[in-house]
Amino acid sequence: MKYAFVGFFLKSLWQRDKLPTELNTITGVDNMDYVDSFINVRNIRQDIINSQGYNKKILDIGCGLGFSTSSTRGSLGIDNNLDTLQHAMELFPRKQFQFADVLFWESDNTYDVVTSMFYFHRNPRDVRQKIIQLGKTYADERVVIVDLAPGYIPNDIFSKRYPHLQDYLDTCSEDLSEFTETVIEENKLHVWTLELNKNKEATENEEVCDSNSVMKLLRFYRPM
């Protein structure tokens, strides 16, 4: 397993070396073009899934088209956009998805990890706070949020497209103050991690990915 992680790290590092050249070909007018391309080049969503450890059961809130949803047994992606979920099911027939409104969603299941990727900035603050609450309730090990950096500067078009964006930028640091914040790309993308570790009986031989492991896997990012 360690060798697999080393291979993953080297591949990611190689992609990082490629990154500036590829992104410099993107227009500088719309910062979201930069972000979208950065996400695609680095495959951030899969990086985050992989960094949680082997065969983790992950709840993905705001799964969209399913790229941020794990394919491991017992994992689940939820979203309130039925059309998007139908596309996700077509793209990833082996992944599990569920139509859900996070304000009312409940489950009898718990998960090793709860993630929400690029979903916070699309929603009002009460929904964002509910997602944090759901993460604390249903995650046994950690909650991971991936989204735009607090210092991100959107253009007018992007701001109009996402009416809750500015409120998110103004309040995300406060709402996520319990989390450890890590820079993926300064003023573009950050990761917030909240370690819960509800299950204390893990043995020394069990694959457990704590915050230190995540930092090692993402050590080419710049910490806050």
pLDDT category at 221 given cuts 50, 70, 90 is low
Domain assignment present for 74: yes
pLDDT on residue 24: 29
More confident residue, 33 or 131: 131
* Assigned token pair, 167: 């409120």
- Of 65, 213, 220, nearest to 144 (Cα)? 213
205 occurs within a structural domain = no
For the entire predicted model, the pTM comes to 0.75
pLDDT digits (tens, 9 = 90+) for 137-163: 999 999 999 999 999 999 999 999 999
pLDDT of residue 197: 83
Identify whether 168 is part of a domain. Answer: yes
Average pLDDT over residues 158-179: 97
Q: 14 is in which domain, residue-wise?
A: 2-199+211-223
Residue 71: inside a domain, yes or no?
yes
Domain assignment present for 82:
yes
d(CA 57, CA 71): 9
The pLDDT, as a whole number, for residue 9 is 36
- In whole angstroms, give the CA distance from residue 53 to residue 22: 30
pLDDT (tens digit per residue) in 80-108: 999 999 999 999 999 999 999 999 999 99
What average pLDDT does the segment 34-57 reach? 79
Using the predicted structure, report yes or no on whether residue 224 has a pLDDT greater than 70: no
Could you tell me the CA-to-CA distances from 101 to 140, 148, 196 in Å, in that order?
A: 22, 22, 24
Average pLDDT over all residues of the chain: 81
What is the average pLDDT across 46-72? 96
Higher pLDDT, 37 or 51: 51
Domain of 188, CATH number, reads: 3.40.50.150
Reply yes or no on whether the pLDDT at 173 is more than 90. yes
What confidence category does residue 2 fall into, taking pLDDT thresholds of 50, 70 and 90?
very low
Assess if residue 16 is contained within a domain: yes
Is residue 203 over pLDDT 50?
no
- Give the residue, 121 or 42, on which the prediction is more confident: 121
In a domain, 31, yes or no: yes
CB atoms within 10 A of CB 139: 24
User: Considering its fold, how many domains does the chain have in total?
Assistant: 1
pLDDT for res 167: 98
Provide the pLDDT for residue 199: 74
Q: What is the pLDDT of residue 41?
A: 45
Biggest alpha carbon distance in the chain?
52
